[in-house]
Amino acid sequence: MRNDPRSHGLWEASAPPAPHTPPLERAIEVDVAIVGGGFTGLSAALHLQEKGARTAVLEGAEIGFGGSGRNVGLVNAGMWVMPSALSGALGGLHGARLLTQLGAGPDLVYALIERHGIDCEAVRNGTLHCAVGASGLANIRQRATEWQAHGAPVRLLSAEETAERTGTRAYTGALLDQRAGTVQPLAYARGLAHAAQRAGAALHGHDRVVSAEDQGSHWLLRTDTGGTVAAQWVVAATNTFTEAAGPFTAIREEQVRLPYFNMATPPLPRALRERILPGLEGVWDTPDVLTSFRIDRAGRLVFGSVGALRGSGAAIHQDWGRRAMAKLFPALRGTGFDYAWYGWIGMTSNSLPRFHRLARNTVSFSGYNGRGIATGSVFGRELARLITGEIADADLALPVTVPETPRFRGAREAWYEAGAQIAHVAGARF
């Protein structure tokens, strides 16, 4: 997108066509104006239209341009922190609600895919959280204990079982989450957009919102293409790709950006595809500078980690990727990458998402901390329920909070990018 092969890489090359989303060059009136064409905004538009509300989605670039179209494509249940952390940070009521709601998040994703016939390489064979060393094994054991206490279908695998499922003996065990799976994320976003359009939503791309003015009886949004939208409600669904100079900067300022990249090999020979992730689970491991990998529909290995593919990082991370991949899978030694791309994960202070009322009838969910697919889909649905009066703020899984800017945000972002380079210069970690 924007003639940058490192923005969406393989996903842009393999996704079905995007819907037609012309810039808005006139004045329109709707019930709900949605700013941002990612999972949250598109899910909100689809669910609102199904409830009879008129919606318009305004996307500053293209559908799925932000984190929605760049990520690994793991449809995970819950957040990446321990289940017990939710109650500790949010209190018993909200913690239990969020755990239940996001634990069932993959159910919603795959139901939407089936109901709307979305072609997005959907596979629901679970995910594997793989342990590196004794500390990693202790981590996933604790996760297994906590999730099983909530009745979740998760299972701790031995090192031998993990090797059979992954094709590598690098791990000391794994946590298999049978609720989860994988999708082609940009294809899923585009599929949601098509579904929302069929339901009657107006979708406009390359339409950056430059102002949002409360007119008392309604909101008036102006775009840089000269269009205006009058709406009773505004949904700010821009998350960590929020425009720095736009009307919702508080959302961006609350998050610390963590860079993450993916690279994809050519399609693997059949013999290797039968050995590496034969069950097509999505994988990530336990170190802070983690490794993730999965197989796409064509049999490519999609391999990723923390880091930005720009400046010196472009060569450092790709060199690390070749070494780390060969260490995990010696048969892939000498294999290169056909695609390489990266984006940004929005991290919050407690690694949990936020719900904000930014102004009158202006609402936002944000801060998904690397769990955007199911979380964005769920929160888009919940926004539709909230706006149509089906539920109230008190019924949400998150409390209403005021955006807060973390200390040393810029320095922390710079350290994440530089620290990932340092870690990857040191070599493969297995």
Give the mean model confidence (pLDDT) for residues 168-183: 98
Q: Residue 12's CB: how many other CB atoms inside 10 A? A: 20
- Residue 358 has a pLDDT of 98
- Please tell me the number of Cα atoms within 13 Å of 335 on its side-chain side: 24
Using a 10 angstrom Cβ sphere, with 0-12 exposed, 13-18 middle and 19 or more buried, the burial of residue 160 is: exposed
Sheet holding 127-131, edge to edge: 154-157, 173-177, 127-131, 282-285, 291-295, 301-306, 256-264, 339-347
Provide the sign of the torsion angle of the four alpha carbons 38, 39, 43, 46, taken in this order.
positive
Distance from C-alpha of 338 to C-alpha of 303, rounded to nearest angstrom: 12
- Residue 244 has a pLDDT of 85
Provide the sign of the torsion angle of the four alpha carbons 419, 422, 424, 430, taken in this order.
negative
What 3-state DSSP class applies to 66? coil
Instruction: Return the C-alpha torsion angle 204, 74, 85, 414, nearest 10.
Output: -70
Q: What is the DSSP string of 3-25?
A: T-HHHHHHHHHHSPPPPP-PPP-
Chain segment 25-78, per-residue pLDDT in tens:
999 999 999 999 999 999 999 999 999 999 999 999 999 999 999 999 999 999
Q: Rg of the chain's alpha carbons, rounded to an integer?
A: 21
Long-range contacts of 89-95 (CB under 8 A, 24+ apart): 89/350, 89/352, 90/352, 90/398, 90/399, 91/399, 94/396, 94/397, 94/398, 94/399
What Cα–Cα distance (Å) separates residue 62 from each residue in 7, 18, 21, 122, 251? 12, 9, 8, 22, 20
* CATH of the domain spanning 5-425, picked from 3.50.50.60, 3.40.50.300, 3.20.20.70, 2.60.120.480: 3.50.50.60
Asked whether residue 148 carries a pLDDT value surpassing 80, the answer given is yes
Average pLDDT, the chain: 97
- Please tell me the number of Cα atoms within 13 Å of 195 on its side-chain side: 25
Instruction: Read off the amino acid at residue 207.
Output: D
Helix 39-50 to helix 372-387 angle, to the nearest 10 degrees?
40
Asked whether residue 422 carries a pLDDT value surpassing 70, the answer given is yes
Asked whether residue 412 carries a pLDDT value surpassing 90, the answer given is yes
Are 21 and 78 spatial neighbours (Cβ–Cβ below 8 Å)?
Answer: no
Please report, rounded to a whole number, the percentage of residues in the chain having pLDDT higher than 90: 97
Distance from C-alpha of 284 to C-alpha of 83, rounded to nearest angstrom: 18
Give the mean model confidence (pLDDT) for residues 245-263: 96
Chain segment 269-318, per-residue pLDDT in tens:
999 999 999 999 999 999 999 999 999 999 999 999 999 999 999 999 99
- Residue 2 has a pLDDT of 83
Asked whether residue 426 carries a pLDDT value surpassing 90, the answer given is no
The answer, as to whether pTM is greater than 0.95, is yes
* DSSP 8-state code for residue 242: -
Confidence of residue 245 (pLDDT cuts 50, 70, 90): confident
Q: How is residue 285 written in tokens?
A: 């491991």
Are 41 and 384 spatial neighbours (Cβ–Cβ below 8 Å)?
Answer: no
Q: What is the DSSP string of 245-287?
A: TSTTHHHHHT-EEEEEEEEEPSPPPHHHHTTSSTT--EEEESS
Asked whether residue 429 carries a pLDDT value surpassing 60, the answer given is no
- Residue 77 has a pLDDT of 97
Asked whether residue 349 carries a pLDDT value surpassing 60, the answer given is yes
Asked whether residue 86 carries a pLDDT value surpassing 80, the answer given is yes
Distance from C-alpha of 207 to C-alpha of 352, rounded to nearest angstrom: 29
Are 201 and 37 spatial neighbours (Cβ–Cβ below 8 Å)?
Answer: no
Q: What is the DSSP string of 99-117?
A: HHHHHTHHHHHHHHHHHHT
What 3-state DSSP class applies to 155? strand
- Please tell me the number of Cα atoms within 13 Å of 212 on its side-chain side: 25
Asked whether residue 427 carries a pLDDT value surpassing 80, the answer given is no
Distance from C-alpha of 20 to C-alpha of 23, rounded to nearest angstrom: 10
Asked whether residue 428 carries a pLDDT value surpassing 90, the answer given is no
Are 67 and 241 spatial neighbours (Cβ–Cβ below 8 Å)?
Answer: yes
Task: Name the residue among 324, 292, 315, 291 with its Cα closest to residue 421.
Answer: 315
Give the mean model confidence (pLDDT) for residues 356-377: 97
